[in-house]
Amino acid sequence: MAGRGRGTDQGEGAATSVNERSLFADSPYAEPMPVALPEMRPGLRPLSPDDTASVPVAVPGSAIRLRRLLRRSTWPAIRRSLAVAAVTELDRGVAFLLVPVFLAAGVIAYFSLASEPGFAQPIAIVVLTTCCAVVTRSWPRTHLCFMAAMLCALGVVAAKVETWRAGTQMLGSEIQTRLTGRVVSLEDMENGRVRLTLDVISTARPKLRYAPERVRLSARTVPADMTAGSLITGYARLLPPTGPVRPESYDFSFDSYFTGIGGSGFFLGNPKTIAAQGTPPLTARLSSAIENARENIADHIRGKIGGAEGEIAAALIVGVRAGIPDEVNEAMRRTGIYHIISISGLHMALVAGTIMVLLRGAFALFPDFSSRRPVKKYAAAAALVSIAAYLVISGIVVAAERSFIMLAVMLVAVLFDRAALTMRNLAISAIAVILVSPHEVVGPSFQMSFAATAALVGAYAGWADYRADKVRPPPAKRSFVSFVSRKFLLAMGGLAMTSIIAGSATLLFAIWHFQRVSPLSLLANLTVMPIVSLVVMPFAVLSALAMPFGADGPFLYVMGKGLTAMIAISAWISERSPVDAVGLISVRSVLLVAVALVIATMATTWLRLAAVPFALAGLLTVPQVRTPDVLISEDAHLVAMPIGGGELAINRERSNEFTTDNWKRALRVETIIPPEIFEATDTRFDLDPLDLPPGAPFYCKADFCIARHPSGAIIALAKDRNTARPACAFASLIVIDDATAYNPCRDPLVLVVTKKKLARDGSAAVFFNPQSAAVAPTIRFAVDKPYRPWHEQRRFSREARGLPPYKQPERSAKPAYKPEPAQ
């Protein structure tokens, strides 16, 4: 009995330590089994040398593995392995994970089209591919191909529907008019001005026939009683939405079209409030009430905390961030922690997590209740309501809306006893976002947030699978100090890996959209994120809960101290951060890396190795883009030229800061070199243009500027056609700041760019031939024709029609009244 008992114990112990996968795996260290020779066996004769040649010899394990590898390397074996892996992936649900990928591909295809398609073609393709998918259900491969095509076409239809639904009426030309409108929102800006978003009610002097429905204006001061919902009037200068500051840059017209902003500008005087005429619609009253509540909360937070900390706190709680100082914004951008300011998935997750921790801690105080009730679901439901309220009070911006959808899907999964953090839930949220706001797919916010989340979920799943296959001994007893130290190191290691994984997944997207990286972002996130996660956001939630009772002061105080530490750390790291401008990269590399990321995060078998060649190809094609030799703004006022040594020469002493910053990052320069201005009587300017030193700054005199590119090409800037005519003899590029001018040069090797051409086609990038100056330079514009709906307004500007700037007609003086002499 004892023997059987020991045998049973040993059998159970052996059974628990055996991994089933090892039964089918090659043993790398297996030794050949000993072969009993005949002379060792009784009753058998010894083998002769001829007989021993036929005895099977044990083959080493490495040779067996090599033989099997060679056997698997044949094309039929590879096809079988590929088929088995594909079937396994389909059984694990990868087809559903690819639904948002194909939808997004259709959306990107729509926004990349050269001309605007109609409704009939994409709808017909959807119907046709759907019918083919239904018919081919018995042929799985063909069925999957038609399903993928149907999803791409459906993405095109979704983007087309959103474009039709937006239908924003854009201002066509710059004009001054008296505007009356209803205030939608007002924000105090860092420079002291007030930014107003208005729903236009009427215009006068002149009355606009095609007035935009919503505009965004700034004012020096506003009446003290002005709130959201107030009616105001004032004389304003309206400007049409601008295009990209350079080709393949951020398009303001695109963003304005889908946010409903038809124009921008500023009040020439201070606007005045007027009495309301009638009752506004219910939706306007609700939005005004929410906006006023946001402003009141923001003012309360600023008053309690004060300074830059108060502005950041207002941004984190109610999404009002116009008042954050520029130096604080720049420091956080350079250190890679600016994502903390924008309300996104991080903030939604911290709010939901804080609510769930508080509620589950409260439920733990009542063990009888918590042991009999699903308190986790109660906490998840409360967290869902909380983030919905957070979405509303933060202004329902697109980034917060997308983050809410992502987190809501995960919380609903908890309510239905499903795993919250899975690729399937991420796919559901991506599908919802794509169908609600398709234009977000081509923006940096969507791409970077979903890339980071997918990489983190995929890495977490891989780590969980790795740990599941490991046999871990029971943990040894540790002292309290050792336990706390180990937990702290694990937390910091997890935070570091999170930052590395998310940063690696979003790196090329950030470079493509912003031409900048944050070399010290890992250090900044390791030092700042614990403060944000453990101090700033939890106390922000507590202050929001205590605010209705007037007890939020202590919580806001602690939150402000945490923000003070965050600002100090980001400023310290920013001062020591190297230059973060990295220049332009190829769009081909971004697409290849995106494909690699999709494969690596969604595949669960050896097929994920297919991501490696795509990633390598993407990295190898990063530098395959040519840097422009000259950049020209769309209003023809600003021209820039890199002259080497990290310097950028421009033709104006005072230039648009946003434009020059973007050009600096794109061209990888650090210093702006202003032009050298000469007086009209200064003879130093009267030199031979061919004697200009290559790479020197612009030389300007009166209405004419000249410069020489390091390649030797000469650039001339003229105010009108007559001023530009002499430059035809020596210049390779002539920019004329006059919409009425036409090409004054007969030489086809001289590239002439007029203000009319820039008004029609947007900003331009010019490329000189590095081998020969006898070859005409090439030019690429930011806007292609035929125009898409968000660029249609360009054709109506005065400059695009070749007209001079608008001037107010002079009023004729009325003759003074002279009384008739008395009779």
Range picked from 1-5, 510-514, 623-627, 631-635 for highest mean pLDDT: 631-635
Exposure pattern of 57-81 as b/e (b: 16+ CB <10 Å)? eeeeeeeeeeeeeeeeeeeeeeeee
Instruction: Let me know whether 756 and 665 are in one domain.
Output: yes
Q: What is the pLDDT of residues 145-176, one digit of tens each?
A: 999 999 999 999 999 999 999 999 999 888 99
Nearest alpha carbon to residue 727 among 757, 758, 750, 709: 750
Backbone angles phi, psi at 606, to 5 degrees: -65, -10
> Length of the chain in residues, anyone?
823
How far apart CA 559 and CA 506 sit, in angstroms, is 29
Residue 35 has pLDDT above 60, yes or no: no
Least confident span in 15-19, 209-213, 332-336, 465-469: 15-19
What is residue 53's three-state secondary structure? Answer: coil
Q: Per the structure, how many domains does the chain have? A: 5
According to DSSP, the β-strands at 751-754 and 764-767 are unpaired
Residue 67 has pLDDT above 80, yes or no: no
Instruction: Let me know whether 365 and 386 are in one domain.
Output: yes
Instruction: Let me know whether 102 and 246 are in one domain.
Output: no
Indicate the helix (H) or strand (E) that contains 77: helix 75-91
Residue 77 within any structural domain of the chain: no
Instruction: Let me know whether 556 and 600 are in one domain.
Output: no
pLDDT averaged over the chain? Answer: 84
Domain boundary among 106, 134, 166: 166
Helix %, strand %, coil % of the chain (to 5):
55, 10, 35
Least confident span in 180-189, 466-475, 628-637: 466-475
Q: Residue ranges of the alpha helices (H) in 92-139?
A: 94-97, 99-111, 120-135
Instruction: Let me know whether 461 and 536 are in one domain.
Output: yes
Task: Assess contact for 748 and 776: CB atoms under 8 A.
Answer: yes
Residue 808 within any structural domain of the chain: no
Instruction: Let me know whether 445 and 394 are in one domain.
Output: yes
Q: What is the pLDDT of residues 515-555, one digit of tens each?
A: 888 888 888 988 998 898 889 989 998 998 899 888 999 99
How far apart CA 387 and CA 614 sit, in angstroms, is 38
Residue 533 DSSP symbol: I
Q: Residue ranges of the alpha helices (H) in 365-443?
A: 367-372, 375-393, 398-415, 423-436
Instruction: Let me know whether 398 and 344 are in one domain.
Output: yes
pLDDT band at 284 (very low <50, low <70, confident <90, very high): confident
Instruction: Let me know whether 341 and 459 are in one domain.
Output: yes
What is residue 698's three-state secondary structure? Answer: coil
What is residue 678's three-state secondary structure? Answer: strand
Q: Which range marks the domain in which residue 432 is found?
A: 295-466+491-575
Instruction: Let me know whether 250 and 149 are in one domain.
Output: no
Residue 320 within any structural domain of the chain: yes
Q: What is the pLDDT of residues 677-734, one digit of tens each?
A: 887 766 666 667 777 888 888 988 888 899 998 888 899 999 999 999 999 988 999 9
Residue 817 within any structural domain of the chain: no
Residue 607 within any structural domain of the chain: yes
Q: What percentage of residues in the chain have a pLDDT greater than 70?
A: 86
Residue 315 within any structural domain of the chain: yes
Residue 483 within any structural domain of the chain: no
Residue 24 within any structural domain of the chain: no
Instruction: Let me know whether 97 and 224 are in one domain.
Output: no
Mean pLDDT, range 639-668, rounded to an integer: 90
Task: Assess contact for 288 and 229: CB atoms under 8 A.
Answer: yes
Instruction: Let me know whether 655 and 762 are in one domain.
Output: yes
| Angle at which helices 521-531 and 553-575 cross, to 10° | 170
Instruction: Let me know whether 712 and 773 are in one domain.
Output: yes
| Single-letter amino acid, residue 219 | A
Phi-psi region of 813 (alpha: psi -120 to 50; beta: other; left: phi over 0): beta
